Amino acid sequence: MPDSCPISYRIRPMSLEAHLFEVSLWVGRPARDGQVLWLPAWIPGSYMIRDFARNIVTLSARCETDPVAVTKLDKQTWRCTPCSGPLEVDYLVYGWDLSVRAAHLDTTHGYFNGTSVFLAAKGQEHEPCAVDIRPPEGDAYLGWRLATTLPRLAAPELGFGTYRADSYDALIDHPVEMGTFDLVDFEATGVPHRIAITGRHRADSQRLARDLASICTEHVALFGGDLPAQQYLFQVSAVGDGYGGLEHRDSSSLICKRDDLPCPGEGEPGAGYRRFLGLCSHEYFHLWNVKRIVPARFVPYDLTKEVHTQLLWVFEGFTSYYDDLALVRCGCIQPESYLESLAETVTRVMRGTGRLKQSVAESSFDAWSKFYKQDENASNAIVSYYAKGALVALALDLSIRMDTGGARSLDDVMRTLWQRHGARGIGVPEDGVERLVDDVSGLDMKVFFSRYVHGTEDPPLEPLLAEVGVGLRLRAARGPQDFGGLRANGAAESPPRLSLGARYKTVGDFAEITVVPDGSPAQEAGLSAGDRILAVDGLRAGADNLEALVARLPRGETVPAHVFRRDELMIFNLCPDFPPADTCELWLEPHPGAERLARRKAWLHRED
Ligand code: ZN
């Protein structure tokens, strides 16, 4: 594979039916003592060891026409026998992971992240490389195009051909989509943006482009007005059911329900479309916060093993705060809609007693083994650095606004993080954000951080929101689907209902317990995740009637609960009770007074 670059790759969908990419790596000047090759164990942005090398099916090497022996050193590293000329390595990669994190190939499309398909040549990771991306063979695929932000070297726009990257780090930060996706182009702050939608859908893509243009412009303004990218691509995969995103420097990969995309004639975004806009907004905010403003611990990334930082409450939490906030600030959604979404986040945090045991700094550090490996006990043991991190950001923002008389806000903190770290390529030390907040605000926020970031106290949202004319209250859940939201004006109060306090899923006719919260009647009785409920109070209890049956029992009375645990019938003494007040309602105070109203306008950037 002769080329001017010292490293070049060729990748081709070899068998779409067998989900195999054929990849060749050409190393012009292999290491004299034998070239070592490695593949990442994880992909930046998703803090879990995924061992992408397990999908390499076969691998061989040669020098000209002579075979070169290859020895495997560990799960993701190979050493080639020394050779005198250029080294060529051929391998097959299995791609059947329909997520934003790996590779996927079938007769409808191909998608890959470089971390799944491109072996790194050890010691030469800083070298520029060329990538020849070939189309699949066959008339059926003549219409396939290619969407990526990899710079083109010898390829038509949206076409197969040769692309380039300045280094291995750059190479793996531009995922590639190939197939018959739909395209919508738009401009934001003078920079070309593009949406590529893969999968069946009937979305109003012009509406989507308009809304995304507003959101992108809002984020660019927050960070000072200049987009630090020449182009941006939203790579969307629309499926029946799915949700997820992964950020990159100049693009993001997103998976969504096709029903969450806007339908023609859609007015104010419903919950599904709002969720999708929030996801796009989230990944775009990452363009600064984590892709360019980076924890010092990630500079450079060590992709062979876990790398721990306490700062994900900033890089994911602050991003989660600004994702929805930007939607209301740019006018894509109404303040009431924003409060609905915010209330659901508060409820999600309040539902887990893990928040009283783990701080968001600890949750960040242990993301690899805890947040990314959640089991049935997760809500009792850990806190989400996304959800609580967003509430910490909200409390911090409102505190700074209050204590500086509106002169400073979290927006100034983000802008300064960009100027001092992101724009200058300087990683953020573990205590860097806390010091910078004090510096930018002129306040001493030590107590705030020790309570809500390193400690496990709940941020004082009720008094802080009151200062911007927003009411908050916590009440008992009215059913398993009740996550709170906007308080309905003048709605009659429904009385609390007795509950067993466990979360469950429907399996056939059964209610199968999935989560037993600390302190719940279910836990006191001894019920466990995996138990299938058969009867309560001697009566058949299934997924269809469990809630109603429990709600009708007299409070304080203990009744038998029959369950199958594995294949054993067990009887427990259950005493249902009212659920705790962990469901959040928010509302806009209609007459908050001039001062609070002014603060609300400054916070939401809204005149209404
Ligand atoms: Zn994120």
pLDDT in tens, 180-215: 999 999 999 999 999 999 999 999 999 999 999 999
Going from the Cα of 40 to the center of ligand 1, the distance in angstroms, rounded, reads 20
Task: Please report, for the chain, the start and end positions of each structural domain, with discontinuous segments joined by +.
Answer: 7-177, 181-268, 288-464+602-608, 503-578
| 390: Cβ contacts below 8 Å, ≥ 6 apart | 317, 318, 320, 321, 345
Q: Nearest CA to 276 among 313, 329, 239?
A: 239
Tokens of 316: 């994911």
Query: How many angstroms does the Cα of residue 474 sit away from the middle of ligand 1?
Result: 27
Q: Give yes or no for residue 450 having a pLDDT over 80.
A: yes
User: Is the model's pLDDT at 225 over the cut of 70?
Assistant: yes
46 Cα–ligand 1 center, Å: 9
Give tens-digit pLDDT for 433-448: 999 999 999 999 999 9
Rounded distance from Cα 564 to ligand 1 centre (Å) = 39
Q: What's the CA gap between 394 and 255, in Å, rounded?
A: 27
Per-residue pLDDT band at 3 (split at 50, 70, 90): low
Residue pLDDT, tens place only, 465-479? 999 999 999 999 988
Contacts of 363 (CB under 8 A, 6+ apart): 312, 313, 370, 371, 382, 383, 384, 385, 388
Q: Six-digit token pair at 160? A: 């197969």
* 78 CA → ligand 1 middle, Å: 32
- pLDDT for 1: 53
The domain 503-578 having CATH identifier 2.60.40.290: the answer here is no
CA distance 231 to 86: 35
Closest CA to 294 of 519, 45, 93, 59: 45
pLDDT score, position 491:
67
Q: How far apart are CA 81 and CA 267, in angstroms?
A: 64
Q: Tell me what pLDDT residue 238 has.
A: 98
Residue 114 exposure: Cα atoms within 13 Å on the Cβ side: 29
Q: Give the pLDDT of residue 215.
A: 98
* d(CA 234, ligand 1 centre) in Å: 14
> Mean pLDDT, to the nearest integer, of 360-378?
98
Ligand 1 centroid – CA 602 distance (Å) = 26
Q: How far apart are CA 446 and CA 146, in angstroms?
A: 50
- Domain 7-177, CATH number (from 2.60.40.3650, 3.40.50.150, 3.30.450.20, 3.60.40.10): 2.60.40.3650
Phi, psi of 85 (to 5 degrees): -110, -170
Give the distance between the most distant pair of CA atoms in the chain.
Answer: 85
Q: How far is CA 525 from CA 536, 574, 576, 578, in A?
A: 12, 5, 9, 15
**Are 181-268 and 503-578 equal in CATH topology?**
no
How far does the centroid of ligand 1 lie from the alpha carbon of residue 321, in Å? 11
* pTM across the whole model: 0.97
Q: How confident is the model at residue 496 (pLDDT cuts 50, 70, 90)?
A: confident
Distance from Cα 283 to the centre of ligand 1, integer Å: 6
If you write DSSP's letter for every residue of 158-199 in order, what string do you get? Answer: TSSEEEEESSHHHHTTS-EEEES-EEEEEEETTEEEEEEEES
The predicted structure's pLDDT at residue 494: 78
- pLDDT value of residue 479: 84
Token pair 């008339």 is found at 139
What percent of the chain stands above pLDDT 70?
Answer: 99
Q: Is it the case that residue 322 has pLDDT exceeding 70?
A: yes
Write b or e for each residue in 550-585: b if 16 or more Cβ atoms lie within 10 A of its Cβ, otherwise e.
Answer: beebeeeeebebbbeeeeeeeebebbbbebbebbbb
Higher pLDDT, 608 or 109: 109
What separation in Å is there between the alpha carbon of 334 and the centre of ligand 1? Answer: 23
Cα of 443 from ligand 1 centre, angstroms: 28
Whether the CB-CB separation of 204 and 260 falls below 8 Å is answered with: no
Hunting for tokens 């990748």 — which residue is that?
A: 11
Expressed in angstroms and rounded, the spacing between residue 468 Cα and the centre of ligand 1 is 27
Q: What does the pLDDT read at residue 606?
A: 80
Rg (CA), the chain: 27
135-177 residue pLDDT tens: 999 999 999 999 999 999 999 999 999 999 999 999 999 999 9
Q: How far is the CA of 299 from the centre of ligand 1 (A)?
A: 18
- CB atoms inside a 10 Å sphere around CB 522: 26
Q: How confident is the model at residue 608 (pLDDT cuts 50, 70, 90)?
A: low
CA of 317 to the centre of ligand 1 (A): 8
Which fold would CATH assign to domain 181-268? Zincin-like (3.30.2010)
Arithmetic mean of pLDDT over the chain? 96
pLDDT recorded at residue 411: 98
Res. 430: pLDDT tops 70: yes
Using the mean position of ligand 1's atoms as its centre, give its distance from the Cα of residue 247 in Å.
7
pLDDT > 60? residue 272? yes
Between the CA of 486 and the centroid of ligand 1 the distance, in Å, is 25
Sign of the CA dihedral running 463, 464, 467, 468: negative
| Cα separation, 38 vs 120, whole angstroms | 5
Q: What fold, for 288-464+602-608?
A: Neutral Protease; domain 2 (1.10.390)
Contact 68, 81 (CB under 8 A): yes
Span from the CA of 315 to the centroid of ligand 1 (angstroms) = 7
Centre of ligand 1 to C-alpha 288, Å, is 11
